A and B are shown apart, each in its own frame.
Chain A
Amino acid sequence: MSEPESFEVRLAVLPVQGLRSPSAETVVAALSDLGFSQVERLSLGKLFIWHTRAPGLKAAEAEALQMAERLLANPVTEEALVLSVTPSEGTAASPPARASEGEREGNPESAPPAAERLR
């Protein structure tokens, strides 16, 4: 078995097509009020970004889908999309380094991963 590598995974969870979303409808109405009246079919969901160690890219992606199935997405109303799985420079155990990099760059995604904030 190959040595685990560190990956950054980005996963989006969105409402399934056809499900009415009051929050999305409200955002569309607000955008229209601001003059963006051309916006339609807006989908509003969640973005999860985390670091993990896995034997390879495919394994990291498979793990992400399992996580979505078991917790991150509600299979009745949501679908999960793995947006990207990329080798991360740091290790999974060092999200603060990622955060400080983001802060230096003014990256709005520089907050700690969601799981860390929940503790």
Chain B
Amino acid sequence: MSDASRVGAALAPEAVVAIFPGSNCDSETVRALTRAGFRAHGVWHTDLARGATLYVLPGGFTYGDYLRPGAIAAHSPALRVLREAVDEDGALALGICNGFQILTEAGFLPGSLEPNRPTGFRCRPVTLCPKRAHGPFARALGTSTVNWPIAHSTGRYVVSEAVRRELWRGGRVLAVYADPDDPNGSVDRIAAISDETGRIAGFMPHPERAADPRLGARDGLRFFERLLRECEGPQSTSPSEPREVSRHVG
């Protein structure tokens, strides 16, 4: 390795992808993050440690989806590490698909992901509309619609009426499925949310599957590239003002 590349690698923010038994999107997530410029690597969930800038819980079927998707992984010691890294180190945490399910099961994000309505596994690109939201994930998502693939049978986001209102009021709904493109019956067609700080986010669609120019899909890569800039910039622990975005849906 040349000196130049060593220096570059040392400066790049570290992104850690937690691997659980049954995770199956960890490799492409590491690849997408690396392509975007992160110093990314996968770590077995029991070995997860603080110190990274971004933690990603990837897609898959942790513990075979036994009991409920994400329910058993939510009790991994990795979630304790994640909590401390976010609260005390200012790290960011992103759950994708099964990772989103883990975050709701762990109570890091409100609500629950339930079986799709109509029933069935959906695996296809969807159009996502960013909403008026705050935080690094909202800024990384940008303001234009994006096309990311989904691949889930348990992605119907449900939440109590009170929390649903709180999510919208607090600028925590990051994106919704485009109007005629609702794949799972989620309340308000919600596809992605964040916690109240904006530092923890869950997405049902897969940005890492839209991050390879050879596949003609770059929307996910752009998201990770913008997220890299968020990680390189000054870390704010207080949520910024929700930003205005196109409001043609939702």
CB within 8 Å of B: which residues of A? 19-23, 25-26, 71-72, 74, 76-77, 118
Known: A19-B158, A76-B104. 17 other contacts (CB 8 A): A20-B185, A22-B116, A22-B118, A22-B119, A25-B119, A71-B71, A71-B75, A74-B68, A74-B71, A74-B112, A76-B110, A76-B111, A76-B112, A76-B159, A77-B112, A77-B114, A77-B158
Q: How far is the CB of A20 from chain B (nearest CB, A)?
A: 6
In Å, the complex CA distance between A71 and B67 comes to 9
CB distance from A43 to the nearest CB of B (A): 14
Give complex CA distance A19, B160 in Å.
10
CB contacts (< 8 Å) of A77 on chain B: these are 112, 114, 158
Most chain B CB neighbours (cut-off 10 Å) among A20, A21, A76: A76
Interfacial chain A residues near B115, Cβ < 8 Å? 21-23
Residue B105 is within 8 A (CB to CB) of chain A in the complex: yes
**Contact code string B52-69 (vs A, CB < 8 Å = 1, else 0):** 000000000001001110
Residues of B within 8 A of A22 (CB): 115-119
CB distance from B158 to the nearest CB of A (A): 6
Per the 8 Å Cβ criterion, residues 85-101 of B in contact with A are none
Size bracket, chain B contacts: 20 to 34
* Neighbouring B residues of A71 by C-beta, 8 Å: 67, 71-72, 75
Shortest Cβ gap from B18 to chain A (Å): 20
Chain A residues with Cβ under 8 A from B119's Cβ? Answer: 22-23, 25-26
Q: Which DSSP category, helix, strand, loop or mixed, fits chain B's interface?
A: loop
Chain A residues, CB < 8 A from B117: 20, 22
Could you tell me the distance in whole angstroms from the C-beta of A94 to the nearest C-beta in chain B? 24
Query: Nearest A residue to B119 by beta-carbon distance?
Result: A22
Distance, CA A76 to CA B74, complexed state (A): 15
A/B interface sample: 6 pairs, CB < 8 A: A74-B68, A74-B105, A74-B112, A77-B158, A118-B63, A118-B66
The 9 A-B residue pairs whose C-beta atoms are closest, nearest first, are A22-B119, A76-B112, A22-B117, A77-B112, A22-B115, A74-B112, A26-B119, A74-B68, A118-B66
Chain B nearest CB from A79 CB (Å) reads: 13
Report the Cα distance A40→B104, complex, angstroms.
Answer: 31
Chain B minimum-CB-distance residue to A15: B114
Q: Which residues of A contact B118 (CB under 8 A)?
A: 22
A62: min CB distance to chain B, Å = 20
Name the CB-closest residue of B to A19.
B158
With both chains docked as a complex, state the minimum distance between the C-beta of A31 and any C-beta of chain B, in angstroms.
15
Bound state CA distance, A77 and B185, in angstroms? Answer: 15
- CB neighbours (8 Å) of B114 from chain A are 19, 77
Distance, CA A20 to CA B117, complexed state (A) = 9
Interface string of B103-134 (1 = CB under 8 A from A): 01100001110111111000000000000000
**How near does chain B come to A4, taking the closest CB pair, in angstroms?**
25
Tell me the bound Cα distance from A20 to B104 in angstroms: 19
Minimal Cβ-Cβ distance residue in B for A22: B119
Task: Tell me which residues across on chain A come within 8 A of B116, comparing CB atoms.
Answer: 22
Among A19, A22, A72: residue with most chain B CB under 10 A: A22
Cα A15 to Cα B159 with chains together (Å): 13
The CA-CA distance from A111 to B172 in the complex, in Å, is 45
Which B residues are CB-close (under 8 A) to A21?
115
User: Chain A's nearest CB lies how many Å from the CB of B133?
Assistant: 22
Contact A72 B158 (CB under 8 A): no
Q: In the assembly, what is the distance between CA of A21 and CA of B67, in Å?
A: 16
